[in-house]
Structure 1
């Protein structure tokens, strides 16, 4: 239940940010997203928490397939850090944990799409 609330909180914050579309996810969608993700064995989320117990960031990932390598790949679909935790290495920690899970799943490739105007993400 704690992780569900943390993912929902991060999705809401991320959706309201210019990089996330600058529009809040409607409540009826937000309340279903974690349960829908849980139904998909190829989906996983990574959470980071601050010392104060508040959610600091998250990544939603999906396992896919590389036809050229004939092996799994992992795509980071959403990656965001809460405003209160920006520039504290949270994105690097999340990426490291995603990489660990990708390796555990036998993935040969990790992908992340970054918007053109997202220079902090491009720098990390």
Structure 2
């Protein structure tokens, strides 16, 4: 399994990262991974009541540029589900792709979920995003369900794939 080749520090996000993260999110938007319409001005703030900085880890290069992030949250607000965390977003800047940064962020999300006391981690990925699916599978995630034709994107129906893994192994 590859490790990041370029020097990147993965750290918790800060309020001051909002603009850079918003730009990254807009630059990486694609129907390959997003079910939301393409963002248009005026842009919504990157952080809001549901998506606070403490739910994000960022990959910062040695020159201070944010080249990626992962959003980690709860899949439901239920107390009986508090032992599970969910990856709810992952983005890597085009300039940093192919360096193992996505893998490093996925691993960091698992480590952070464990630190928070989670015993399981899940995610949802669009079926046609084979690159992301291969990454998750190589990191121990297994397909746990498929919602056939869940989304209509770019003129076709796309399956929503549910994946997860244990954090206790």
TM range, smaller chain: 0.7 to 0.9
Higher strand share: 2
Q: Is the 8 A contact 1:12 1:30 kept in 2?
A: no
Q: Is the 8 A contact 2:87 2:121 kept in 1?
A: yes
What residue is the counterpart of 2:60 in the other structure? 49
What residue is the counterpart of 1:80 in the other structure? 91
User: Over alpha carbons, which structure has the higher Rg?
Assistant: 2
After superposition, what is the alpha-carbon deviation per residue over 1:75-114, rounded to whole angstroms, capped at 9, x for unaligned? 1111111111111101111112111110111111111212
**Pick aligned residue for 2:125 from 92, 108, 114:** 114
1:96 and 2:107 equivalent?
yes
5+ residue gaps, structure 2, are 1-14, 136-169
TM-score, normalised to structure 2, is 0.59
Which stretch of structure 1 is more off in the superposition, 52-61 or 90-99?
52-61
Residues 96, 28 of structure 1: alpha-carbon distance in 2 compared, 3 angstrom cutoff? same
Over aligned residues, Cα RMSD in angstroms?
2.6
Q: Aligned to 1:49, what secondary structure does the other structure show?
A: strand
TM-score, normalised to structure 1, is 0.77
Aligned residues: 117
Q: Aligned to 1:102, what secondary structure does the other structure show?
A: helix
Stretches of 4+ moved more than 4 A in 1?
none
Q: CA deviation at 1:23?
A: 4.6
Which stretch of structure 1 is more off in the superposition, 55-64 or 19-28?
19-28
